[in-house]
Amino acid sequence: MAGEDRRRHGRAAWIGTALGTLLVAWVATAGSWDLLRWEPLSDFYDAQAAAWLDGRWDIGIDTLGVESFFRFDEEVAALVERGWPIDDDPLVADEILRSQPAYMYQGPVPALLRVPTAALAPDLSGRLTTLSILAATLLAGWTSGRILWEARRRLRPDVEVGRGEQIGVAAWCALVTGGSSLVYLAAKPWVYHEALVWGVALCLASLLAMVRYVDAPTTRRVVVLGLLVTACLSTRASIGLGPLLGVAVLGARELVAVARRRADGRDVWPPITRAAGLAGVGVAALGTYAAVSYVKFRTLFSVPFETQLHTIIDPTRQEFLAENGGFFSLRFIPTTLLQYFRPDAFRPTSLLPWIDFAPAPGPILLDARFDVFDRTSSVPSALPAFVLLGVLALVALGRGRIEWSALRAFRVPLVAAAGSGLAVLAFGYIANRYVADFMPLVIVAAAIGVQALLAWRPSRPWIHRTAVSVVVLAGVFGAWLNVSHGVLAQRLYGLTTDEERTAAFIATQSRVESLLGGEELPSRVQRGEQLPTGSPGDLFVLGSCDALYLHDGNPPNTIRRHSWIPVERTERAGRYELAIRFDALRPGTSSPIVSGEDGDSSALLVVEATDDGHVVVEYSGAGLPRRSAPIEVDPGHTYDAVLVADPRLSEVSLTLDGRLVFEGHLAYDGPLTFGRDVVGGADVATFAGSIERRPGTRAELCADLLERAG
């Protein structure tokens, strides 16, 4: 019967995992189900795989941007050491930085999955992150189901898996995948989030392998454990430290066993063999991590943040590092502990989805200075059902309702899971994504709590029903919070928000609020000709609905110069929808896309052919001159293009067929001419190809909000 129970349990786990992952896919694609949509900050692993195929590790500044970690030659290192003012001549700075090898700090394992597509389908670069996140989510769901089974096998081995328990198992796996921090991470398919989802999945797989190894320490199981721990550490080091700690504890236990056996006169060879195998796991994991780090940074275990482009160009980051001596400090721990474990890290609102992040930054203790204190939830707020079940496990153990001896195989994995969250506590950057670092601990503890709850038979049955109901409600609340936070981060907050998605979401909020008789959105609307300072959540109408902007509450910095994000922009505000066809250009020849001149101020955006058949886009004029990375274009193909020239946000950008190919800083606020050079800076006077203006945004949301505001 045990085999049939295992199959029933496994089927339920897969059903729950699939359902939860479907929700993750819906959130990740913003309801479009376009799993291959290009997203910003999502092509690092593709570029790493392509670099390996070229026999190198460096990726280059063109892909990594401010996330570039350089290994400078002596001449450039001296420039940086002297405080190189790269804004004095940005084009020269770009040329110098492009000559230096630049590396990403993320681990290499997810890039290994990209090698086949980098070789066979390079056009998919930047379009695979959502699929990768979904694959990792499936792995996390499956391993959490197996961990639940391992806990059941030890605490309730004689109980048949019935229909009710199957529903519970499916709900468990659905909650792990579609109701946890994983759904928030998927909402913005960035490289940082991809690394975290894979880190969580591989950590859970490592903990499962650890449980199975303790049960039967065979050669096969130690090899599997070694591969998983190595992969986890080389995906996301902070979370991988937990499984590595677990291996160290297991090894120490074997050494203690050696001493005891020697004292008793027994054979010491079995624990010595096991200790050697575990030592091999540790050496493999640490050695792989150190080798990759040395190849990239010439350091073994540290990330040189002082050579990151973000640090080089941002005085605020430089001051933060100088004050704290780096990104890690014990001084951060009181604040991070408070933030990540406070129970009230959310805020009810009157607008869909009726729950938001708590205001950021939260309370800061010991006057610690953080690099970033972003909108952040907490473990009890985002994972309440798992926390309650974990507490129930502790209570059951404390009262003797669970025999600690029955959980022998879970002791070290629990220690390892706790170790996975330690690094972010001493890290000077607080963000909602780091809540996921604590998921392995609460999942393993909650798996024990589930069995304690199912085995509990109080004298009054209503007490048990109430406890189950509370856990279910906590799970529903956690899912609601995580989906809501994911949608809000995707549509309203932070970098890389999509203008059309933002407008559609606020329009939905407005319709729902209007149906319910609310008036909060109209009360936030301001009007004028210049962007005001504003407050988080404010909506600003430029002119006669020339544009609508949202204040997202994020403070401006060197990289992001405004707290306002665009919601709707018409051509009067500088957003143009175009059809662009590129014809062949002679290498080294520049052709004007758009130009403008107004008194002493000018702007010129050109495309220039390179020797290898690519093109680069270059901006010159008021603002910061900048060249793009080489772009592969298809001569004769008509691209759906969006050109933005918005001086209010200091933004000039070009998007071709949904892919952002150029972004820079603009300070020109005058008339523009398409396809012709009125400045005199291009090699040819007219565009080599065709540019057709298409109807732009009609600002319907702006008009609706003004009508509601009266």
Quick check: 1 pLDDT over 60?
no
d(CA 64, CA 44): 7
pLDDT digits (tens, 9 = 90+) for 342-359: 999 999 999 999 999 999
Residue range 283-294: mean pLDDT, rounded: 98
d(CA 48, CA 52): 6
Residue 496: band (very low, low, confident or very high) from pLDDT cuts 50, 70, 90: confident
DSSP 156: S
Nearest by Cα to 707 from 586, 541, 485: 541
Show the tokens assigned to 306: 């002082």
pLDDT digits (tens, 9 = 90+) for 291-340: 999 999 999 999 999 999 999 889 999 999 999 999 999 999 999 999 99
Return the bridge partners of 645, or none: 652
pTM across the whole model = 0.96
SS3 308: strand
Q: Taking the domains of the chain in order of start, what are their residue ranges?
A: 2-36+127-303+330-367+374-490, 44-124, 499-570+701-709, 571-697
Taking the mean position of all CA atoms in its chain, how far away is CA 508? 26
**Concatenated DSSP letters for 532-545?**
----TT-EEEETTT
Residue 85: band (very low, low, confident or very high) from pLDDT cuts 50, 70, 90: low
SS3 305: helix
Please check whether residue 617 is in contact with residue 607, taking contact to mean a CB–CB distance below 8 angstroms: yes
Q: What is the 3-state secondary structure (H, E, C) of 425-442?
A: HCECEECHHHHHHHHHHH
Q: HSE (CB half, 13 Å, CA atoms) of 564?
A: 25
Task: Tell whether domain 571-697 is in CATH 2.170.120.20.
Answer: no
Model pLDDT, residue 165? 96
Residue 457: band (very low, low, confident or very high) from pLDDT cuts 50, 70, 90: confident
Tracing tokens 């040819």 back to the chain, one arrives at 684
